[in-house]
Structure 1
């Protein structure tokens, strides 16, 4: 994972982290969250994420896939300096906007023109939502989607020692950088084989088992680890594990 997206184990950061307890700090952030949810509810990934989902009947001109993986990929593509400059939902906005530009739904010129209209308070009224689309998004929220594809077919067993791979990071990864090359113990195997809604290029995408792996902080951070009987747990796709001889 690129530096700006995983800071665990790093020292010398410029200031202590502050934890904002409010889910939404400003009203416009709710709209960004809503856009993301609507995109997931209209995404054609639903055709494979739920059995017999009538994807051809979804009433939308949106003909692409959009999942949490796509949202994360958009954020991870940001310039590191921009990443630290913008707030959480500003990163969402940037990723969603770039997705629509890249897919040809809107151009940068059209966005710039719309921005000028809004700044001049001369923007035309937005059309009322299409009821069928509203119904579809509500239906998605009720059904959800699932990456589970089968019962688990694990290569490793509880109690096995495993080494975390150091596979090259692609556009998006679910492997924390501080675990690469470290050895841990399989603590739990989840009940199913799980797909990731996009192929990341570093091994995940197709259905596979997911494990909880336990690590001794001393093995991860050496003398920097805090004292005490502590254990660090990580949920990891099987592609990120290899056996220890």
Structure 2
């Protein structure tokens, strides 16, 4: 995605953003956050992700994979005009609703009917085993680490950042594409991303912290005295310098 995500450093952007300080602006945002958490805690990938939950035994009709990548893909796939029009949790609502529609859990007509229904008509409660699984997930999480690190690059090595084709989702900041930086740290393990994004990540691989100078990123317009920028990047986004000459 080279449009609405990772806009840092682009020239001609409007005045500094007025960031909302409240975590939840409206009460419904708490509910959509809770729905997302429940979907994460019931996702079928948890059967393979550490610590290997018995998610197949949970009596839920939700039998799909839902990760942070799923949520981000829904947001990044929005029409750019809609993306900038809606607030943070409005994007969540749109992405989650579309996921349920696309996977046959609910229809647009059913959603419309629920919007018109009184709040008392909404069904509450459920099987306690579902709650137990979600709470267990909240306590223990899921780790994408699969092995010790097998890095191709070393600390102190200069690396070039790939300019991969835009896909449905990426973890590569747009303003780092085709830039050159220095490896400052290699994380201890090989880490997967649970889903394959189409731009190189998905299977377990090393993750690096790469340092970039302001001059490298912004050129002669870099502000004097600015600090270096550090980015955590999957190995698929790094290339040897000689490959880009």
TM over 0.5: yes
- CA-to-aligned-CA distance 1:14-58 (integer Å, 9 cap, x gap): 332112222111111111110000000011110111144323212
- Structure 1 spans left out of the alignment, 5+ residues: none
Q: How does 1:90-239 map to 2 (within 5 A)?
A: 90-117=90-117, 121=118, 124-228=121-225, 230-239=227-236
- In structure 2, distance between residues paired with 1:66 and 1:183: 34
Relative distance call for 1:9 and 1:229 in structure 2 (3 A) is closer
Structure 2 equivalent of residue 43 of structure 1: 43
The answer to whether the 8 Å contact 2:191/2:205 transfers is yes
- In structure 2, distance between residues paired with 1:229 and 1:29: 37
Structure 1 equivalent of residue 10 of structure 2: 10
- CA-to-aligned-CA distance 1:59-88 (integer Å, 9 cap, x gap): 211110000000000000100000111000
Alpha carbon RMSD of aligned pairs, Å?
A: 1.3
The answer to whether the 8 Å contact 1:2/1:76 transfers is no
The answer to whether the 8 Å contact 1:215/1:233 transfers is yes
Secondary structure of the residue that 1:49 maps to in structure 2? Answer: coil
- In structure 2, distance between residues paired with 1:106 and 1:38: 17
The range that moved more, 225-234 or 52-61, is: 52-61
TM score, norm. by length of structure 1: 0.95
- Structure 2 spans left out of the alignment, 5+ residues: none
The range that moved more, 157-166 or 216-225, is: 216-225
